[in-house]
């Protein structure tokens, strides 16, 4: 039976899983929409891994993403890391001398600065989601094209229009205004890409030294219009890895492999058919009014988190 390493990245928009025996050869890759249901997304992802690979022994599991706490408890993960670390490790494996990682996902954007293989600085978007995958999906739907058509159409532009990209609301209003003025769809899409790249560099990239090689990853890296806009703005040819949309999961699996575990704590592929649930409640114990999340398998409480004092989380006997 083959030994594999699993990586799971649970984000707000997508849940990604990868499996490899050797990192040079990915055996399975799964990209799913989370749809606000991370438990079901993880179970479906593991089900697809089993379908693709058949029986396999799991030597290690790494999890990352905004839903990593839930994923860790649910799967019995061996390594739990934040997205910055996971994406940096994956980018460094694909491009060993990488100095800058641009990562744009469904609802957030990251910039990671590496020097000599070590993360020295990073930044994330704060309030505005302009330029993220969900915003681009929304604009493609509003115009009446698929998101897959967005990039190729933008590449056809002859004279990209200037669009205000500092805010998602203003960008959409400006696009509508340019359409009403009679500008071509291609010029508007290319202009939007350029505006979103300016927004990224002026906010997430503000004060950062962006040096080549630059690796562009995350779902938005599939958009050729955005790649071209970054190339022009940076005067650098950005590198888009083959596994651009699952780099977080890839990094998590690499970290599990690096841990050199004697055995994995993975709870088995049987958890695909188990019943998990989660709910939140407000603790009334003090003025903090902590929002506590409780995670269950059937009637059994597996974990709680969100309390500052440990009153609830420390009371769980796993």
Summarised one tens digit per residue, pLDDT across range 127-163 is 666 667 778 888 888 888 888 899 999 999 999 998 8
Domain range 96-240, CATH architecture: 2-Layer Sandwich (3.30)
**pLDDT tens by residue, 25-51:** 899 999 998 888 999 999 999 999 999
Handedness of CA 159, 162, 163, 165 (dihedral sign): positive
**pLDDT tens by residue, 228-270:** 999 999 999 999 999 999 999 999 999 999 999 999 999 999 9
Residues sharing a CB contact under 8 Å with residue 122, sequence separation 6 or more, in sequence order: 84, 110, 111, 112, 113
Q: Length of the chain in residues, anyone?
A: 318
What six digits make up the tokens of 228? 């071209």
What six digits make up the tokens of 70? 């839930």
- 243 pairs with which residues across the strands? none
pTM: 0.89
Handedness of CA 117, 121, 126, 132 (dihedral sign): negative
CATH of 3-87+249-273, one of 3.30.1490.20, 3.40.50.2300, 3.20.20.20, 3.30.420.40: 3.30.420.40
Neighbours of 161 (CB within 10 A): 21
Alpha-carbon distance of 136 to 142, in angstroms, equals: 10
What six digits make up the tokens of 260? 């050199």
Domain ranges of the chain: 3-87+249-273, 96-240, 276-315
């Amino acid at each position: 039976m083959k030994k594999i390493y699993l990586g799971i990245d649970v984000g707000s928009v997508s849940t990604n899983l990868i499996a490899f025996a050797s990192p040079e050869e990915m055996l399975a890759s799964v990209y799913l929409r989370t749809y606000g249901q991370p438990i079901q997304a993880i179970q479906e992802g593991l089900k697809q891994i089993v379908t693709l690979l058949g029986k396999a022994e799991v030597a290690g599991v790494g999890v990352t993403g905004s839903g990593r706490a839930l994923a860790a408890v649910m799967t019995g993960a061996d390594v739990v890391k934040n997205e910055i670390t996971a994406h940096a490790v994956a980018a460094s494996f694909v491009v060993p001398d990488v100095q800058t990682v641009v990562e744009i996902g469904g609802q957030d954007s990251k910039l990671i600065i590496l020097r000599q293989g070590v993360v020295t600085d990073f930044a994330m978007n704060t309030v505005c989601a302009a330029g993220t995958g969900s915003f681009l999906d929304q604009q493609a739907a509003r115009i009446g094209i698929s998101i897959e058509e967005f990039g190729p159409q933008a590449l056809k532009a002859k004279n990209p229009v200037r669009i205000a990209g500092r805010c998602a609301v203003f960008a959409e209003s400006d696009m509508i205004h340019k359409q009403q003025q009679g500008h071509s769809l291609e010029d508007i899409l290319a202009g939007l890409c350029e505006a979103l790249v300016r927004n990224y560099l002026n906010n997430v990239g503000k004060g950062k030294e962006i040096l080549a090689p630059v690796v562009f990853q995350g779902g938005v890296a599939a958009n050729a219009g955005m790649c071209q806009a970054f190339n022009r703005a940076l005067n650098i040819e950005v590198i888009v890895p083959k596994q651009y949309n699952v780099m977080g999961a890839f990094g998590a699996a690499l970290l599990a492999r690096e841990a050199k575990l004697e055995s994995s704590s993975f709870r088995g592929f049987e958890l695909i058919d188990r019943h998990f649930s989660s709910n939140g409640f407000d603790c009334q114990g003090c003025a903090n009014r902590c929002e506590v999340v409780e995670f269950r398998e059937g009637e059994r409480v597996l974990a709680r988190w969100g309390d500052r004092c440990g009153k609830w989380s420390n009371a769980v006997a796993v």
